[in-house]
Structure 1
Amino acid sequence: MARYTGPKTKISRIFGEPILGNGKYLGKNSNPPGQHGMTRKRKTLGEYALQLREKQKAKYTYGVLERQFRGTFQEAARRKGATGENLIKLLEARLDNTVYRLGLAASRPAARQLVSHKHITVNGHVVNVPSYQLTPGDIISITQRTADSEALMGQVKGKNPKINWLDWNEGELKGTFVAYPERESVPENIREQLIVELYSK
């Protein structure tokens, strides 16, 4: 399975946001990467550059490569409603992202690894596909061997109460994908309309 394995801080410096980590180095060196940093001649980005930048931000945030991202966008365009909001809903409904939102992993890459290594079940069945699309009512849990592992269970921090489209039962270690999230509930700083404009060219 392809995924980005390069330097995370470099990507965060491109966008000026800690989209791939805690961003602890952004304060020391917040200039864009490259030999010239902010001293490049063209300091204002054009329309296409802004749209492309927003698409790249969404891809890196959710850990999706180009072909899969385009497929997700096409599915969002087929559905009823605003394409941009549908895109965010589909990205949030990915299994790896949901595992991260439930607090079972500290980051999306860590959540992806949990799924790939068969630590996660959906409706009682082991699913090892990080891009698996959840639907409302699906129950996400961890396998028994994971529950018996102190190292893995030590990483469980619980769900953020602001994530209101997921329900987490700490006693049973089970989460429920209640509904697709509304756009205003998703904390990611992504201007999805720019992505729609980019793919509409």
Structure 2
Amino acid sequence: MARITGAKCRLCRREKIKLFLKGDRCYTGKCAIEKGGIIPGQHGKKMSKLSEYGIRLREKQRAKRIYGMNEGQFRRFYGIAARKKGVTGEYLLKLLESRLDSVVYRAGLAASRDAAKILVLHGHVQVNGKFVNIASYVLEPGDVISIREKSKGMKAIKMSVDRIKERGGITSGAWLDVDFDNLKVTFKKMPEEAEIGSILNKQLIVEFYNR
């Protein structure tokens, strides 16, 4: 399982956008982007214009960092999407949002995707009543995700749910049905691209792998 273990704010500065890697901090004035974050490194202030290849590489790197995946994992998901009929980039986004860690995060049970990965890895999450500790597990419509009984009192989960409620609830209600009282989530369907609200340019990612 790939996890981001280094300085997360540095990654946001490198990509020049919020990647929402640090949970609640990303919504405050402490966020590096809110402070006008400069690209990290000695030459960050005077980096030259990116080439066509560089633009596509950056978009692929941005996607990997948002979903906390290494190159091998991301390439595998791209390969699955490329073999499907239809628009490759659109199906790739749907697959990424159908991962177990993405759904736990989108449902508000974890403050970030990294926190969601930890919940899954440590056995706090069940799918259809069975323990699943694979963050990249792809859910099927109708699957029910729940927090195991012994883990429902975890402070991190409670704080995350409270924060989501304060912000007015989840934004992924079109494909997730969340029961905050029982800490259960029903994966209703794969999300549509418009419902995801992704900041990624999927076409650039496809062009990178098809170069």
Q: State the TM-score bracket (shorter-chain normalisation).
A: over 0.9
**1:75 to 2:85 alignment:** no
Go from structure 1 to structure 2 and tell me whether the alpha carbon gap of 1:64 and 1:171 turns closer, same or farther (over 3 Å shift): same
- TM-score norm. by structure 2 comes to 0.88
From the superposition, tell whether residues 150 and 109 of structure 1 become closer, same or farther in structure 2 (CA, over 3 Å).
closer
Q: Which runs of structure 1 show a deviation greater than 6 angstroms over 4 or more consecutive aligned residues?
A: none
Aligned to 2:133: 128
Structure 2 match to 1:183: 193
1:152, distance to aligned residue in structure 2 (A): 3.7
Say which of 68, 90, 95 aligns to 2:100.
95
1:194 to 180, 186, 204: 204
- Residue 194 of structure 1 aligns to which amino acid in structure 2? L
Are the counterparts in 1 of residues 90 and 193 from structure 2 also a CA contact under 8 Å? yes
Q: CA deviation at 1:133?
A: 0.6
1:38 and 2:45 equivalent? yes
Amino acid at match of 2:174: N
**Cα gap change, 1:31/1:161 in structure 2, threshold over 3 Å: closer, same or farther?**
closer
Q: Aligned with 1:155: secondary structure?
A: helix
2:137 aligned counterpart, secondary structure: coil
Quote how far apart the aligned CAs of 1:45 are: 1.3
- Alignment partners' CA distance in 2, 1:162 and 1:3: 23
Conservation of the 8 A alpha-carbon contact between 2:64 and 2:70: yes
Q: Distance in 1 between matches of 2:124 and 2:84?
A: 31
The worse-fitting range, judged by mean Cα deviation, of 184-193 and 26-35 is 26-35
Residues 26 and 161 (structure 1 numbering): CA distance in 2 closer, same or farther, change over 3 Å?
Answer: closer
What is the CA–CA distance in structure 2 between the aligned matches of 1:56 and 1:110, rounded to whole Å? 20
Larger mean Cα displacement after TM superposition, 110-119 or 152-161: 152-161
Local SS of the residue matching 2:60: helix
For the residue of structure 2 that corresponds to 1:156, the secondary structure is helix
- Matched ranges for 1:97-116 at <5 A: 97-116=102-121
Change (3 A) 1:94 1:38: same
SS of 1:188's equivalent in the other structure is coil
Distance 1:197 1:24, change over 3 A: same
Does the CA-based 8 Å contact 2:107-2:172 persist in structure 1?
no
Residue 154 of structure 1: aligned partner: 159
Structure 1 unaligned residues grouped into runs of 5+: none
What do residues 154-199 of structure 1 show as CA deviations (whole Å, max 9, x unaligned)? 3324551444111112233211111111111112200011010110
Whether contact under 8 Å (1:95, 1:130) holds in the other structure is: yes
Distance 1:13 1:150, change over 3 A: closer
Contact map agreement 2:175 2:191 (CA 8 A) in 1: yes
Structure 1-normalised TM-score? Answer: 0.92
Structure 2 counterpart of 1:11, one-letter code: L
2:176 maps to a residue whose letter is L
Match of 1:141 among 137, 142, 146: 146
Please report how far the alpha carbon of residue 9 of structure 1 lies from its aligned counterpart in structure 2 after TM superposition.
1.0
